[in-house]
Chains A and B, each alone.
Chain A
Amino acid sequence: MGHSIKRKEDLRFIQGKGNYVDDVNLPDMVYGHMVRSPYAHARLKGINTENAKQLPGVLTVITGEDLAKANLAWMPTLFFDKQMVLATGKVLFQSQEVAFVVAEDPYIAADAAELVEVDYEELPVLVDPHKALDPDAPILRDDREDKSNHIFHWEVGDRAATDKVFEDAEVKAKVHAVFQRCHPAPLETCGCVADHNAATGRLTIYLTSQAPHAHRTLFAIVGGIPENNIRVISPDIGGGFGNKVPIYPGYVCAVVASLTLGRPVKWIETRSENLQSTGFARDYHMTAELAATQDGKIQAMRVKTLADHGAFNAAAQPTKFPAGLFSICTGAYDYPTAFCEVDGVYTNKAPGGIAYRCSFRVTEAAYLIERAVDVLAQELKTDPVELRRKNFISPEKFPYKSPLGWSYDSGDYDAAMKVALDTIGYDALRKEQQEKRAKGELMGIGISSFVEVVGAGPAHTFDIAGIKMFDSCEIRIHPTGKAMCRMGTKSQGQGHETTYAQIVAQELGIPAADVTVEEGDTDTAPYGLGTYASRSTPVSGAATAMAARKIRDKAKKIAAHLLECSEEDLDWEPGKFFVKGAPSKAKTIQDIAFAAYTNMPEGMEAGLEAVDYYDPPNLTFPFGTYICVVDIDKGTGEVKVRRFVAVDDCGNIINPMIVEGQIHGGLTEGLAIAFMQQIGYDENGNVQGGTFMDYLLPTAVETPHWETGKTCTPSPHHPFGAKGVGESPNVGSPAAFVNAVVDALSHLGVKHIDMPIAPWKVWNILKEKGAVN
């Protein structure tokens, strides 16, 4: 561990020999195509599938009515709600699934989909979440007993105490920050090949899934198929970012079609379908207030948030947390009082939301506090760095109990800040800014000192749809000393085939090259909850270490037997046991592995393997400081990122090269969110960000050069002190970008700008303030 070894999985990808779901081709395979609603809210009066069915090559057209006969027209979501698989009665968002066509060839299936005639009666549309609870708002969910658009109310903290602090506060700062609806848009869209083999009775589903075991269990429960007859295989996944956590109607339809037709059914969604109907992220409308003393000591935080979940609450979140882990919004700062409340509502939009490259709702939280702190700094007319450093939780206070109930494991926030400041040359930049301002030039510096909570999570508090959030690892050592490991997680590019091998190499001394790592086949891998929310290293990585240590315990006994001594006489260094004081009397792990099959001690079982299901004692709390420098063109409003320094602390690092790559990628996503992206809806519920024409992804030209750095504050409860890091850059960066732009314009009186900060927004502000070139 700690070495930047090259990735083992690269070999197949650089040759174009990856095995993604769309690469799976089975004999006799047929293709599915979804018919979708053009209306955001309408009654379904009738569907005429006759013309579609008559088209040569079409095998079947499934509608909601057909599914209803098998009780499958609706399916449970991951969060106490249900969602329509195929529309029955009404449609609730544009692009909602209405019928599923299956044909011999994907082009014929698309032709047939055009021939399906659907009769709709338009209903009034609700797209503004703020209007969802108005007395005259259209009620979207006829199927619910509670005839309202209100999904949940959740609160945490001490409302009375917080209100009191605000009443008496010397200084108050308030910001209303919208984290716009965006979409993870992994480069590979979602899809599956569902193959029910009537001869064996088994259903194999090749699936773009970040959580194959959980999906298998859900398919078993919802579909009534015995779980031992279902095999979910997540082969290579082209990016997930949370988009591949939910179960989508297309999967269910493909399974039903395969069961009906007895042939493999492939369904791969198009990009438009992906952007318009699959798990969106964010859409949090948040108000934060900070109370502080005149000399800048934060005393309390008060938060009120409106959460837009679209037509169904398909949030992929631990069940006790309707607003995810949003209560981390108190941030990296030390104060005793806080209160937070979140209300979720339905609207005529695609259902969700998922945790897009973040631990559930942690991005929204980090964005909110980091914006609020900057607004407070502006209010106090103090430097935003000063204000942060004054309020950071100091290292001696860990484990730190936050006012909203989190126990932060470890942290040294000031250390990360210091590295960031030194790397970017903060003082010189502030001088430069002053000089530029005098000349009327616009330059800004944005800070984000985020802390996030990842690695869900301990069984006493965390479960997804009832399944506890442990994770697992199974290691088997072969007679010739090579190892095979399987985990319950599923990489979508994070490099698990390499990093897990490094953990095993560290714990057992078997070279990483001799360790094969497999994930994603539910027939062979031990049960796990999958990869998202930065949980692989904290949970499954821990399981790997624990399994390896169990093996080491057995290996010690074998070594003692081979060296004819007692276990107490032995010492360990990675790769071998040796007699204390006589290092030449040693047995390598390879010797021991061979002996495990050929020369076991009396009474010992053969073999050298172990499995561990790890229940993490706590979550982990990675953190960092990001600093962004921007220059704004007064003529066009365009914001150019001049420099971005990201200092991350994720505890002990397994592979620095892989961590750095993750940071680059996440920062690029943050850049896109801050400046370019939004899934918007017009007043009729038409999706405005439904293709890459409107939902913009940065190319190599827009993406700046990222500078990365690190500090290391190990997690005291993790077997090797690691915390998880894949998502920190997406969590911490939006605030850094926005803070930089606001900082560039703060002398004009600007306090906040909502994302995405497109040039026209900045230009309008400049015009309004009389500062346009």
Chain B
Amino acid sequence: MAKKQLVQIKVNGRNREAMVEPRLLLVHFIRGIPGLTGTHVGCDTTHCGACTVLLDGKTVKSCTMFAVQADGCELLTVEGLMQNGKLHPLQEGFKEEHGLQCGFCTPGMLISSYALLSKNENPSEEEIRWGISGNLCRCTGYQNIVKAVQYAAGKMEQGGKDDLPNIA
């Protein structure tokens, strides 16, 4: 067994650290150390995207990264979207537009949509579909997820960027 090493990651604005084996997957770090179980494991071949998190502003599939690779980085997970008790417009959108059924893909979808909207404020339907093409869903057929993202884009346009949590 390889020697454990110290890993320090800022998760949703809070510093977290632990001694971990180099082979510990980032998704297991997130679910185990800060105990944030919103990020899910849905497959073992990097296809489903249920484990998607934002790492230093970029979406990554946390099942395909080691925790040690994220040492010194900043992470946003689904639990970090709500600010001061207020739902993020994306979260609101998913609720208003019925963008979820079983909820298992939802955290990954929210993070991917969040990343999409931060680069493209007013995406077309096609751009949204491409933007979430790394996230699989078995329940919704994606149609209402697209509507949820459009809802959020509209809301954010009105409300300005203050709604976005302050993560790099």
Contact = CB atoms under 8 A, between A and B. Distances in A.
A/B: CB atoms within 8 Å of each other: yes
Interface of A: 6-7, 9-18, 20, 22-23, 25, 106-107, 185-189, 236-239, 241, 270-272, 492-495, 657-658, 660-669, 691-693, 697, 699-701, 703, 705-706
A657 B23 contact: no
B102 A14 contact: no
Q: Binding site of A, secondary structure by majority: helix, strand, loop or mixed?
A: loop
B72 interface: no
Which 4 pairs from chain A and chain B are nearest by CB? A16-B38, A493-B102, A13-B103, A238-B104
A272 B44 contact: yes
Interface in B66-106: 77-79, 81-82, 87, 91, 94-96, 98, 100-106
Interface string B139-161: 11111111000000000000000
B139 A493 contact: yes
A665 B98 contact: no
A271 B40 CA distance: 13
Given A270-B44, A493-B101, A668-B141, A697 B79 contact: no
B58 interface: no
Given A22-B37, A187-B42, A693-B45, A13 B142 contact: no
12 contacts: A7-B95, A7-B98, A12-B103, A13-B103, A14-B110, A17-B79, A188-B42, A492-B102, A661-B141, A665-B140, A668-B141, A700-B130
A23 B38 CA distance: 8
B107 A495 contact: no
Given A16-B77, A493-B102, A703-B129, 4 more contacts: A20-B104, A23-B37, A238-B104, A665-B138
Contact of B138 (A661, A693, A697): A697
A239 B141 contact: no
A189 B40 CA distance: 11
A474 to B, nearest CB: 24
B117 interface: no
Nearest to A494: B101
Contacts of A700: 128-130, 132-133, 135, 137, 142, 145-146
A271 B104 CA distance: 14
Contact of A187 (B39, B110, B138, B146): B138
Contacts of B24: 107
A692 B40 CA distance: 16
Given A271-B45, A691-B44, A14 B137 contact: no
B37 A669 contact: no
Nearest to B145: A700
Nearest to A707: B143
B41 to A, nearest CB: 7
Among A7, A20, A703, the one with the most B-chain Cβ atoms within 10 Å of its Cβ is A703
Contacts, number: 178
A83 B105 CA distance: 33
Given A13-B106, A15-B91, A692-B43, A697 B100 contact: no
Contact of A661 (B82, B101, B128): B101
B10 to A, nearest CB: 18
Interface residues of B, number: 57
Contacts of B146: 700
A13 B100 contact: yes
B40 to A, nearest CB: 7
B60 interface: no
A22 B38 CA distance: 11
Contact of B95 (A6, A25, A494, A661): A6
B107 A16 contact: yes
Contact of A699 (B103, B133, B139): B133
A187 B104 contact: yes
A187 B102 contact: yes
Contact of A16 (B39, B102, B136): B39
A57 to B, nearest CB: 9
Given A6-B98, A11-B95, A239 B136 contact: no
Contacts of A241: 138
Nearest to B142: A700
Interface centre among B42, B78, B105, B128 (most CB of A within 10 A): B42
Contact of A697 (B37, B47, B91, B94): B47
A186 B50 CA distance: 12
B94 A188 contact: no
A692 B50 CA distance: 13
B39 to A, nearest CB: 7
Contact of B144 (A495, A664, A691): A664
A522 B21 CA distance: 39
Nearest to A184: B138
Nearest to B23: A107
A22 B103 contact: no
Contacts of B11: none
A263 to B, nearest CB: 18
A494 B140 CA distance: 10
Contacts of B167: none
B142 A14 contact: no
Interface centre among B36, B38, B132, B134 (most CB of A within 10 A): B38
Contact of A239 (B21, B102, B129): B102
A186 B143 contact: no
B91 A14 contact: yes
Nearest to B146: A700
Most buried by B among A185, A188, A666: A188
B78 A15 contact: yes
A189 to B, nearest CB: 7
Contacts of B133: 699-701
